[in-house]
Amino acid sequence: MICKICLNDNSVRNISFNSEGICCFCENYGKIKYKLDDQSSLKRLFEQRIEGVREKYAYDAAVGISGGKDSVYVLYSLVKDYGLHVKAFTMNNGFLSTKARENIDRVVSQLGVEHEYIEFDMKKLQRFYHYSMKKWLVPCIACSYIGYASMVNYASRINAGMVVHGRSPAQMLRFYDKDIYSELIKPGLLPPEDTDISGLYSSLLKNIEKKIDRDIMLDVREMLMNDTDEEDLREFVAFFLYHPYNENKIVDFLRKKVGWDTPEDYDHYDCTIHNAARYIYQKAEGRPHTLPEISSLIRMGELTREEGNRRLEELIINEKPSEELERLLDFADINETMLFLKAGVYRMKLKLNN
């Protein structure tokens, strides 16, 4: 079954359809669309957050940057447009590309921003990636959890008023109200004084840890949250929840303003195993993993269904990215044959359920 509005089908996790053939993600998005279209209210909500932290902490904000377009643009805007005292940081998950490092170093130098690379205990990191791939086939879940937990921890450690990230609207809203990340969006649409930050993070952490082996969970907590005062957590602010997003304009702007130098295919160029993860997803799901994100763009009116279908066709990987895959499997200590057997079983279950 394919949604009557977007392109989501039964292969998308946690999906359901109403009697009219509309998927739950389109329905859920429709419930908050009026808020997302109200640019004046969104601007006011962001300014409330800005003024609530300005000059009250060692840093107004901490910004995680990967070298990708969105995070670099967020850093530039907070410094140049809002005049905030910002500290930037980059999480070295073991797969940060050389080109990304070059861009990061160039941008923070041009902006005159303090910056720090966060290094992890590689043995624990490898163990967590191994667990993520055995349980979920891909490293991305481990990477996301590491990223979010590190950002919250880092803001507390350096005494920053808030931590700001640059996920695009399509990324944030693709599974709206059906994933853990949605719980970070809902309070973001409220005035900051109406948000119980400590209660929110405590609830999120418990929900995440229900899905993780206890020994792994303890390792991850020690590695990521050791500096966090659970009574003094800082808000995790989504920059593009409040600001218009146009990928082409962002890319053109950065290349002209900060010499953002990337390959022609700049999407996720900062990650040296991204294509390997895409390939594994494709083998398991039978289509590009970005289907929910492209469907999100369709329901937001950024793409037509025809354009979405063309983009999906362009994203199909026809040749195994052997070098990236070997790098990932070696790091996570995963057997390739067993991995793809498990991916095949997952895909077969999807077909049977359809």
Look at residue 52 and tell me if it is in a domain. Answer: yes
> What are the tens digits of pLDDT across the range 53-75?
999 999 999 999 999 999 999 99
Look at residue 32 and tell me if it is in a domain. Answer: no
The pLDDT score that the predictor gives to residue 119 is 87
Look at residue 211 and tell me if it is in a domain. Answer: yes
Look at residue 46 and tell me if it is in a domain. Answer: yes
Look at residue 10 and tell me if it is in a domain. Answer: no
Same-domain status, 237 and 317: no
Same-domain status, 87 and 183: yes
Same-domain status, 307 and 228: no
Beta-ladder partners of 23: 17
The pLDDT score that the predictor gives to residue 122 is 86
Under-50 pLDDT residues of the chain: none
Look at residue 284 and tell me if it is in a domain. Answer: yes
| End-of-domain residue from the set 242, 273, 295 | 242
Same-domain status, 43 and 174: yes
Same-domain status, 238 and 277: no
Look at residue 19 and tell me if it is in a domain. Answer: no
What do you get for the CA distance between the two ends of the chain, in Å? 8
What does R_g of the chain's alpha carbons equal in angstroms? 20
Same-domain status, 42 and 181: yes
Q: How far apart are CA 62 and CA 162, in angstroms?
A: 6
Beta-carbon contacts of residue 96 (< 8 Å; ≥ 6 apart): 66, 67, 90, 270, 271, 272
| End-of-domain residue from the set 208, 242, 276 | 242
| Cβ burial, residue 200 (10 Å; 0-12/13-18/19+) | middle
Domain interval for residue 321: 265-353
Same-domain status, 43 and 144: yes
Same-domain status, 98 and 133: yes
> What are the tens digits of pLDDT across the range 15-45?
999 999 999 999 999 999 999 999 999 999 9
Same-domain status, 224 and 285: no
Same-domain status, 327 and 226: no
pTM of the model: 0.92
Same-domain status, 217 and 335: no
| End-of-domain residue from the set 211, 242, 273 | 242
Q: How far apart are CA 350 and CA 354, in angstroms?
A: 6
Q: How many residues are listed for the chain in this entry?
A: 354
Same-domain status, 279 and 331: yes
Q: Per-residue DSSP letters for 1-36? A: -B-SSS--BTTSTT--B-TTS-BHHHHHHHHHHHHH
The pLDDT score that the predictor gives to residue 195 is 81
**Number of domains within the chain:** 2
Look at residue 101 and tell me if it is in a domain. Answer: yes
Domain at 118, CATH number: 3.40.50
Collapsing DSSP states into helix, strand and coil, what is residue 262? coil
